[in-house]
Amino acid sequence: MKRLFVLVILSSVMASAGSLMAPKLMAQVIDEQLQPTSLKISGAYIRTMPPGQKVTAAFLTVSNVEESDCQILSATSPLTNRIEFHQHQHVDGLMRMRQMKSVLIAAGETVVFKPGAFHIMFFNMDNMLMDGDKTEVTLQTDQCGDYSAELEVRSLVKPTIMDHH
Ligand SMILES: [Cu+2]
């Protein structure tokens, strides 16, 4: 009789724990508390595209605050299923883009993805990006976990033609 009573209490505790967990798992917001801590990502943004263009690039700063190296292997986004890491290089006086299979963020180092250098290339973009909107990207690493970062949508050029009346 006593044993049965304990079992009933246990199962009701487990049931209420389960209902507390559910809303957290369904939340779409990036919760930094749940992310691994080796890499710190800051200043993340993605450029708007000129009309008709289906390719754009995102930029961010990644710092490795741990004592072991991290390799970024891939990136995912709700916007497209094809994202590549690229590097700009001067070859015979021309600017060329080269795809990087992975990007090393060495222990204690910071890598800046910026125009003219490392960038994250988004292909097959079907949705227009609006200046000021927010989206997100997730970076997958070899041994440092996955990191989601909010991407601020920024216009490449601010229109100036309208100023001349
Ligand atoms: Cu590129």
What is the reported pLDDT for 24?
40
From the CA of 97, how far away is ligand 1's center (Å)?
5
pTM for the whole structure? 0.75
Show me where the domains of the chain are located.
32-154
Q: Give me ligand 1 centre to Cα 100, in Å.
A: 10
Taking only the tens place, the pLDDT of each residue in 119-134 is 999 999 998 899 999 9
107-111 contacts, C-beta under 8 A, 24 or more apart: 107/64, 107/66, 107/67, 107/68, 107/69, 108/64, 108/65, 108/66, 108/67, 109/63, 109/64, 110/61, 110/62, 110/63, 110/64, 111/61, 111/62
40 Cα–ligand 1 center, Å: 23
Task: Quickly name the fold that domain 32-154 has.
Answer: Immunoglobulin-like (2.60.40)
**Ligand 1: centre distance to CA 114 (Å):** 11
